[in-house]
A = this chain, B = another copy of it.
Amino acid sequence: MGGGRTRRMPRAERERQMLDAAVQIIARHGYAAASMDEIAELAGVSKPLVYLYLNSKDDLFTACIRREAAALTRAVRAAVRSALPADRRLWAGVLAFFTYTAEHPDGWTVLHLQARTHGPRFAAEADAVRAEMTAFVTRLIATAARESPHSRDLPARETEGLAVALIGAAESLADWTNTIPAATAVQAATTLMNFAWSGLGDLMSGEQWTEPVGA
């Protein structure tokens, strides 16, 4: 027996296959309902090999979270790393975010939902990404406020609250967008910017935020 599986491949590639399988199954069945058997089978290897490489179910989950967290972080960081005005940097980051969530729905589910619902150890891993994104937005708001003509002074707690709200809005839109077949990352990003930057009040007055040209 033993036919079918392509054997003897380099460790790095095998690990990637295992993580791919794990992310998919965990996203769809939930971490607890995902069995090592299923994951090993989908990865096309035997269970002991998964243990040899990834050590335990917890470590496997942690590795999944870290990989997806790193991927998202990398994408958003790359988009934001420019020296543009605040709203254009925000736009770039938000677009990168929705692009990632649209292209990696399972990874996004693992990060956003599964990592937060199976104990603090995993939640902590996922929180790092949120914390980074929140910090970025917080700085952005603080800077913008300072640079505004009216130079408002927002208390730190309030600034962070606004950032948390914005991140939550983005997450919610990401989930929603993924349930709508035709929806695109650009649309989601536009909606979020409309909501967040211009504000509903402005929306009412017709002052809609507009996507910066050449982004």
Contact with B along A179-191 (1 / 0, CB 8 A): 0000000111111
A158 beta carbon closer than 8 Å to chain B:
yes
A124 beta carbon closer than 8 Å to chain B:
no
Q: Which residue of B has the minimal Cβ distance to A95?
A: B215
A48 beta carbon closer than 8 Å to chain B:
no
A99 beta carbon closer than 8 Å to chain B:
no
Which chain A residues (108-159) contact chain B, with CB distance < 8 Å? 113-114, 116-119, 141, 144-145, 148-150, 152, 154, 158
- Closest Cβ–Cβ distance, residue A38 to chain B (whole Å): 15
The distance in angstroms between the C-alpha atoms of A197 and B117, with both chains bound, is: 31
Q: In the complex, which range does the number of interface residues on chain A fall in? A: 35 or more
The distance in angstroms between the C-alpha atoms of A215 and B32, with both chains bound, is: 41
The distance in angstroms between the C-alpha atoms of A194 and B116, with both chains bound, is: 27
Residues of B within 8 A of A95 (CB): 215
Residues of B within 8 A of A161 (CB): 173, 176, 187-188, 191, 195
Q: Which residue of B has the minimal Cβ distance to A187?
A: B161
A165 beta carbon closer than 8 Å to chain B:
yes
Q: Are B200 and A201 in contact, with the CB atoms below 8 A?
A: no
Given A172-B165, A200-B162: A88 in contact with B215 (beta carbons within 8 A)? yes
Q: Are A200 and B196 in contact, with the CB atoms below 8 A?
A: yes
The distance in angstroms between the C-alpha atoms of A145 and B209, with both chains bound, is: 16
The distance in angstroms between the C-alpha atoms of A92 and B211, with both chains bound, is: 10
The distance in angstroms between the C-alpha atoms of A190 and B162, with both chains bound, is: 10
Measuring CB to CB, which residues of chain A are less than 8 angstroms from any residue of chain B?
Answer: 29-33, 87-88, 91-92, 95, 113-114, 116-119, 141, 144-145, 148-150, 152, 154, 158, 161-162, 164-173, 175-176, 186-209, 211-212, 215
